[in-house]
Amino acid sequence: MCMCELIRLLLDSLNKRERASNLQLDDIARYFHLPMVEAAKELCICATVLKGTSRKFHIRRWPYRKIKSIDSQIAKLTRGNGGPAAMAEIERLTDYRRRIYAGLE
């Protein structure tokens, strides 16, 4: 490996570190609908870095499964007859999902 390649690899790793340290909640929240490993690939970082970043924003567990569960509950209620109780539950679940994406849950 020549010196140019070593320098390029070093700069790439520094850019990754800088990019990872500059991640904000909005940046990672866009990927809550994906498993953590897939989200990390999309962000071009490793899962460990994504996990550390999410902990920085007080996210104890990656919310993929919770989001998936809420989405399936909403879909099930939507397919039903849609009475007032179902509509209220859909509203509650939608609000809960919104709070997860905002990092409040």
pLDDT per residue of the chain (105 residues) written in tens, 0 to 9: 555 565 566 556 656 677 777 788 988 999 999 999 999 888 888 899 999 999 999 999 999 999 999 999 999 998 887 788 889 999 999 999 999 988 877
Domain identity same for 7 and 52: yes
pLDDT for 21 equals 76
Instruction: Please choose, from the candidates 31, 70, 25, the residue with its C-alpha nearest in 3D space to the C-alpha of residue 47.
Output: 31
Contacts of 79 (CB under 8 A, 6+ apart): none
- Residues of the domain holding 91: 64-101
Domain identity same for 85 and 40: no
pLDDT for 18 equals 72
Q: Give the Cα separation of 105 and 100 in Å (integer).
A: 5
Domain identity same for 52 and 9: yes
Total count of domains within the chain:
2
Domain identity same for 52 and 7: yes
Domain identity same for 52 and 93: no
Domain identity same for 44 and 88: no
pLDDT for 3 equals 58
Q: Give the Cα separation of 100 and 44 in Å (integer).
A: 23
Answer for the pair 64, 36: CB distance below 8 angstroms, yes or no.
yes
pLDDT for 97 equals 95
